[in-house]
Amino acid sequence: MSEFLSNFQRLNPKNAFLRFKEMPKKEKIRSVREFLIDNLLYILLIAAIIGIQIYDPRFLSVSSIINIISLSAANLPIALGIAGCIILTGTDLSAGRIVGVTACVAASLLQASGYANKMFPSLPTLPIFAVFLIVIAIGALVGFINGFCTAKFKLHPFIVTLATQLITYGALLIYLMQGTNNGQSISGLDSKYTDFITGSLFKIGGTSVPNYVLYAIIITAVMYFIWNKTSFGKNMFAIGSNAEAANVSGVSVTKTIIGVFVLAGIMYGLTGFIEAARIGSNSASTGLNYELDAIAACVIGGVSFVGGIGKIRGVIMGVVLLRIIFVGLTFLGIDSNMQYVIKGIIILAACAIDMRKYLVKK
Which residues touch 300 (CB under 8 Å, ≥6 apart)? 41, 317, 318, 321, 322, 346, 347, 350
Establish if 58 lies at the interface with another protein (CB under 8 A).
Answer: no
- Is residue 325 at the binding interface for another protein, with CB under 8 A as the rule? no
Kindly tell me which of 2 and 117 has the beta carbon lying closer to another protein: 2
Q: How far apart are CA 165 and CA 171, in angstroms?
A: 10
Is residue 208 helix, strand or coil? strand
**Cβ nearer to another protein, comparing 191 with 228:** 228
Choose, by CB under 8 A, the member of 19, 152, 192, 229 that binds another protein: 229
Segment near another protein (CB under 8 A); pick from 4-12, 58-66, 95-103, 228-236: 228-236
Does position 70 bind another protein by CB under 8 A?
no
How many other CB atoms are there within 10 angstroms of residue 209's CB atom?
A: 16
Does residue number 231 form part of the binding site for another protein (CB under 8 A)? Answer: yes
> Can you tell me the distance from the alpha carbon of 146 to that of 163, in angstroms, rounded to the nearest whole number?
9
Of 309 and 324, nearer to another protein (C-beta) is 309
Least Cβ distance, residue 319 to another protein (angstroms): 23
Which residues make beta-bridge pairs with 208?
203
Closer of 230 and 285 to another protein (Cβ): 230
Of the candidates 353, 302, 325, 307, the residue with the CA atom closest to the CA atom of residue 2: 302
Assign 305 to helix, strand or coil: coil
Q: List binders of another protein among 281-320 (CB under 8 A).
A: 307-309
| Strand 207-210 versus strand 200-204 pairing type | antiparallel
Q: Which residues contact 336 (CB under 8 A, 6 or more apart)?
A: none
Integer Cα distance of 326 and 305 in angstroms: 24
Report if residue 350 touches another protein, rule: CB under 8 A. Answer: no
What binding mask, one character per residue, do residues 80-99 give for another protein by CB under 8 A, x or -? Answer: --------------------
Cβ neighbours of residue 28 closer than 8 Å, sequence gap 6 or more: 20
Closest C-alpha among 315, 329, 302, 319 to residue 48: 329
> Cβ 323 to another protein, closest distance in Å?
28
* One residue of 230, 281, 285, 289 binding another protein per CB under 8 A: 230
Residue closer to another protein by CB (options 210, 307) is: 307
- DSSP secondary structure letters along 57-122: GGGGSHHHHHHHHHHHHHHHHHHHHHHHHHHTT---SSHHHHHHHHHHHHHHHTB-TT-TT-SSTT
Angstrom distance (rounded) from CA 85 to CA 264: 7
Under rule CB under 8 A, which residues in 238-277 are in contact with another protein?
238, 240-242, 244-252
The alpha carbon torsion through 248, 260, 299, 68 (nearest 10 deg) reads -150
Q: Give 128 or 238: the residue with its C-beta nearer to another protein.
A: 238
Is 2 one of the binding residues for another protein (CB under 8 A)? no
Q: Which is nearer to another protein, 115 or 232 (CB)?
A: 232
Shorter beta-carbon distance to another protein: residue 167 or 222: 222
Q: By CB under 8 A, which span of 9-17, 237-245, 291-299, 336-344 interacts with another protein? A: 237-245
199 binds another protein (CB under 8 A): no
Number of residues that bind another protein (CB under 8 A): 25
Whole-number Cα distances in Å, 26 to 20, 34, 35, 49, 67: 11, 12, 14, 32, 46
Q: Which is nearer to another protein, 58 or 356 (CB)?
A: 356
* Distance in Å, CB of 361 to another protein, minimum: 4
14 binds another protein (CB under 8 A): no
Residue closer to another protein by CB (options 181, 247) is: 247
The answer to whether 321 contacts another protein (rule: CB under 8 A) is no
- What is the nearest approach in angstroms of another protein to the Cβ of residue 255? 11
Q: Phi, psi (5° rounding) for residue 207?
A: -100, 130
- Give contact residues for another protein (rule: CB under 8 A): 229-232, 234-235, 237-238, 240-242, 244-252, 307-309, 361-362
